Amino acid sequence: MIRFNMSRKLFNPILVITTAFFVVILSSFLSKGLFRSFSTNITTQVTVGNTAPAFTSGPAESAPGLAGGTSESCAGAATQGDTITFKTTATDPNGTTHSYYFLVCSTSSITPPGTPGQIPSCTGTTFCTSGATAVTSGTEATCTYTDNTSSWSTDWYGIVCDNFASDQKCSVSQGSGSSGSPLVVNHRPAFSTSGVSAAANPGATFTWTTTSSDPDTSPYNNIKLLVCKTQAISAGACTGGNWCSSAGTETSNSTCGYVATSPYADGSYNAYPYIVDECNLASTGTAQGVNKAFTVNNVAPSVSSVTLNGGSAISLTQSTTTAVSMTASVTDNNGCRNQGNTANEISNVKAYLYRSGITYTGCDTLGEANNNNCYPEVSCSAGTCTNGVTTYTCSASLQFYADPTVANTIFATDNWLDSIKATDDNSAAGTTQVTTGVEVNTTLGGDTTPTTIDFGTLQVGGENAPLDRTLTHNPTGNVGLDITVKANTATMCTNYSTCTGGTPISISNIKYALTSGISWSSGTTLTTSAVEAEVNIPKQTSGTVPTKQTWWGIQIPSNILPGVYNGLNVVDYVLGETSGW
């Protein structure tokens, strides 16, 4: 530092000189008016910038039925096609003269408007805008968007821009909570085609296939197939019951199957496939609810457990019919009743009873009926049908002359069989023959008329010449016959049968012949022992009864007192040789 040191001795003169100089100068200014007073205006300036409007409420979204907006859940997601409402309230710090526009965009950036002060446009996808007219600051702005997104979750940005022309400002927000971004939309599954298995028998599995998928992302892209009995669904379920449904964990081409457990009525069954997603949102695809009916085939009934007369030999009754029982179990895998439950599935069951040599094919029509060996189309009555199984009982009325099949008969190597035929309502039939046949026994029986031989009034020495009293013999059973004849006692008497008085006539005076025109002397003498007479009565084979005759006569010996003489002859029927049947 430089210091100046001045002595007092020099200071005083300098002070005087300096003071004088200032006085001169001041006088000069005053004399010339140069020291008069004056003032100056200073202009101030500041530039106030345009400030972006601020969100005071929202932005927020809402969908029909979702007052709180949408969220990542089935219950909180909007539905494809819903009209989504976006709303917000913004306030412009520059005052109410600045209105604002509201935009909802897929990105946070905008493109300035072509004309300053008007609404800008979204750089990305525009969901909606509040319109070309700006909204007054501090009032709510809304816009709506009809969803056509393809994603379960889509980000959005709410943007508010003022209408200041020279320097438009904007604010961006995605809102908060479930009413903020993203937009969550559940999309309907796609369903374009469906198909079902070909017609099949009861017991088969019918499978429905689909071309189907869900456009949403995992874990919200599962779908489910419902195959309904009626053309209606509600809340992801068939309202009228379902044939089948898929697991609901698949993401495409759902399938499901239904087992038509036997017995099952034949016919076509309507079936309506529906696809829903895991939120039970139904598809609107072209195949939704289109009938894909399945068809259960008619199958012929089956017959089992056929019986004939309880397995016992058949014994006929002379001169009348005998009831012969037959039973069988009939199973129809189409069930007991038809599809509409208007009639029995089995329309009729018939029994066919025949001698084995005739066979079923020789006795399967009414035109082949023959009382000797074939009893076709015998009606049967049904028991209770349970699960398509019914026991039927049939009864045939066998004529007394039906062919025997035991030893010493024409058909000794045959037996009798029966077949049961069941026919359903579609004319499909099943037939089964009894496993083991039974025999028809011989029935030995005949009838002789008249029951009295009146030789007339004869004198001693008189006779029936030729033998002219006849007996007629016919069968009452199922075989050819011969007869045996004998006298019950050795004489004819007036007090038969004690024969204690008078003059008995020996039965040797009675003779018989097998043809007409035979003289008494040429006849066969009656004895008290049974003697077979080869009359060869044929077996009856129709309603016409075969007959044979014998001719009888007597000669009255000498020394016979007058009177009415009686006796008793016995005619028995025996099995004739088969050659005579």
Q: What is the CATH number of the domain that holds 113?
A: 2.60.40
Q: What is the pLDDT of residue 96?
A: 80
- Does any domain span residue 535? yes
Residue 206 and residue 114 share a domain: no
Q: What is the DSSP letter of 387?
A: T
- Does any domain span residue 142? yes
Domain containing 322 equals 302-433
Using the 3D structure, point to which of 131, 155, 186 is the last residue of a domain.
186
- Does any domain span residue 38? no
Using the 3D structure, point to which of 163, 186, 209 is the last residue of a domain.
186
Residue 384 and residue 396 share a domain: yes
* Residues lower than pLDDT 50 in the chain: 1-32, 34-37
Query: Where does residue 578 rank: exposed (0-12), middle (13-18), buried (19+ CB within 10 A)?
Result: middle
Using the 3D structure, point to which of 170, 186, 202 is the last residue of a domain.
186
Q: What is the pLDDT of residue 47?
A: 84
- Does any domain span residue 32? no
- Does any domain span residue 17? no
- Does any domain span residue 568? yes
Residue 269 and residue 204 share a domain: yes
- Does any domain span residue 510? yes
Residue 416 and residue 395 share a domain: yes
CA distances from 205 to 33, 114, 262, 292 (A): 127, 67, 11, 15
Residue 499 and residue 387 share a domain: no
Residue 501 and residue 398 share a domain: no
- Does any domain span residue 34? no
Residue 200 and residue 176 share a domain: no
CA distances from 203 to 22, 81, 133, 255 (A): 137, 44, 71, 19
Separation CA 233–CA 244 (nearest Å):
13
Separation CA 297–CA 200 (nearest Å):
5
Separation CA 256–CA 247 (nearest Å):
8
Q: List, for residues 244-259, the tens digit of each pLDDT value.
A: 999 999 999 999 999 9
Q: What is the pLDDT of residue 48?
A: 85
Please enumerate in sequence order all residues whose Cβ is within 8 A of that of 496, keeping only pairs 6 or more positions apart, or say none: 489, 565, 566, 567, 568
Residue 475 and residue 392 share a domain: no
Structure tokens at 108: 């946070």
Residue 409 and residue 342 share a domain: yes
Residue 282 and residue 170 share a domain: no
Residue 310 and residue 247 share a domain: no
Residue 475 and residue 409 share a domain: no
Number of domains in the chain: 4
Specify the amino acid at residue 450: P
CB burial of 406-428 (b: ≥16 within 10 Å; e: otherwise) equals eeebbbeebbbbbbbbbbbbbeb
Q: What is the pTM of this model?
A: 0.77
> Judging by DSSP bridges, how do beta strands 100-105 and 205-213 pair with one another?
unpaired
CA distances from 397 to 112, 147, 322, 543, 554 (A): 108, 83, 5, 15, 45
